[in-house]
Every structure is written in structure tokens, then in C-alpha cells.
């Protein structure tokens, strides 16, 4: 019996290591993702090599912070969904937990929007006027350019 449990435990540990190793090896670095995602910009906007490298550098600097904010948004959205489900099932809600999750989500959304707008305007500054017009036509509708960023209450 002990031998069976030892073999089962060894199998679970080996499986966990294989799983972690596999996904760690496949996870892209920010540099790889940025490089792949920005190649189309070089062609679409006819960027020269200096423009492309500066834009790539901007994305590399903001990428980790945006990824952190996206993780906060995923976590808080999941927590809000869980609290809503709990409210529906038990007719009770932890108002403090709900408020904290909602506030964290709101702050992360605001920071994400501000950082994204800063990135968009910084990228636009690297472009010629013709490139900038095409760029704002492309990204303008998705981030609400020209609309004020809401101030926190």
C-alpha cells in the first residue's frame, strides 16, 4: 500500500514539473511578443528603422506595466463575478469585498487607459504627419481619442 502511494505521489510530482516546465518554456517574453506584434506597423506605416526601434522601445517599456494591469483586471473581474454568484445563491453579499474589488478594477481600468493613451501619443510623436493621420484613424476609435480621461471620484 505504501509503495502504491509513493508511486502515485511521484507521478503527481513528475506531472506537475512537466506541466510547469512545458508552459514556462513556451511562454513568450515581452521582447518576442512586442517584436512580433509590431512588425506589421513597420510595413503598414512605412516606418524607417529609427522610428521602428523607438516605437518598439516604447512598447517594451510599457508592456510589463500593462500586463500587470491586465492581470489585476482579470483577477478583479473574476472576484466580482464570484461575489455576484455568491449574492445570487445565498441572498447575501460581502459589501466590503465587493467594494474593494470594484475599486481595484476601476483604478486598474483608469491606469490602463491613461497608460495606453500615453503610449499612443508617444508613438504618434515618432511619426511623420501623414503616418500620424493614418495611425490615429486606425487606433482613434478604440481608445476614445479626444475624450477626456475620467477623473477618480
pLDDT in tens, 7-49: 776 776 677 667 676 666 655 555 566 667 788 888 889 999 9
Q: Which domain holds residue 57?
A: 31-143
Calculate the average pLDDT of the chain: 80
CATH number reported for the structural domain that contains residue 64 in this entry: 1.20.120.1490
Split into its structural domains, the chain has a count of 1
Residue 2 lies in a domain: no
Report whether 72 contacts 108 (CB < 8 A).
yes
In this structure, are residues 93 and 86 in contact, taking their beta carbons and an 8 Å threshold?
yes
Name which of 11-20, 42-51, 82-91, 110-119 the model is least confident about. 11-20
Does residue 96 belong to any structural domain of this protein?
yes
pTM: 0.63
Q: Check whether 153 has a pLDDT greater than 60.
A: no
* 82 within a domain of the structure (yes/no): yes
> Band of the pLDDT at 145, cuts 50, 70, 90?
low
Q: Is residue 7 assigned to a domain?
A: no
Pseudo-torsion of CA 146, 147, 151, 153, nearest 10°? 180
The answer as to whether 91 is a domain residue is yes
- Alpha-helical (H) ranges within the chain are 2-26, 30-44, 49-90, 95-125, 129-143
Tens-place pLDDT, residues 43-76? 889 999 999 999 999 988 888 898 899 999 999 9
State which H helix or E strand residue 147 sits in: none
| Contacts of 111 by beta carbon, 8 Å cutoff, 6+ apart | 69
Q: Which of 82, 75, 112, 74 is nearest to 98 (CA)?
A: 82
Report yes or no: 55 and 42 within 8 Å, Cβ to Cβ. no
pLDDT value of position 114: 92
Amino acid at each position: 500500500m505504501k509503495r502504491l502511494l509513493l508511486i502515485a505521489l511521484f507521478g503527481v510530482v513528475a506531472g506537475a514539473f512537466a506541466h510547469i516546465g512545458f508552459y514556462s518554456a513556451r511562454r513568450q517574453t515581452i521582447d518576442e511578443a512586442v517584436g512580433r506584434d509590431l512588425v506589421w506597423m513597420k510595413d503598414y506605416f512605412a516606418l524607417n528603422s529609427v522610428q521602428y526601434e523607438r516605437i518598439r522601445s516604447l512598447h517594451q517599456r510599457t508592456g510589463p506595466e500593462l500586463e500587470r494591469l491586465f492581470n489585476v483586471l482579470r483577477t478583479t473581474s473574476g472576484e466580482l463575478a464570484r461575489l455576484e454568484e455568491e449574492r445570487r445563491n445565498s441572498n447575501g453579499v460581502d459589501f466590503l469585498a465587493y467594494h474593494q474589488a470594484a475599486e481595484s478594477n476601476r483604478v486598474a481600468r483608469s491606469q490602463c487607459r491613461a497608460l495606453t493613451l500615453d503610449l499612443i501619443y508617444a508613438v504618434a510623436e515618432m511619426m511623420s504627419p501623414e503616418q500620424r493621420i493614418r495611425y490615429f484613424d486606425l487606433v482613434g476609435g478604440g481608445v476614445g481619442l479626444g475624450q477626456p480621461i475620467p477623473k477618480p471620484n
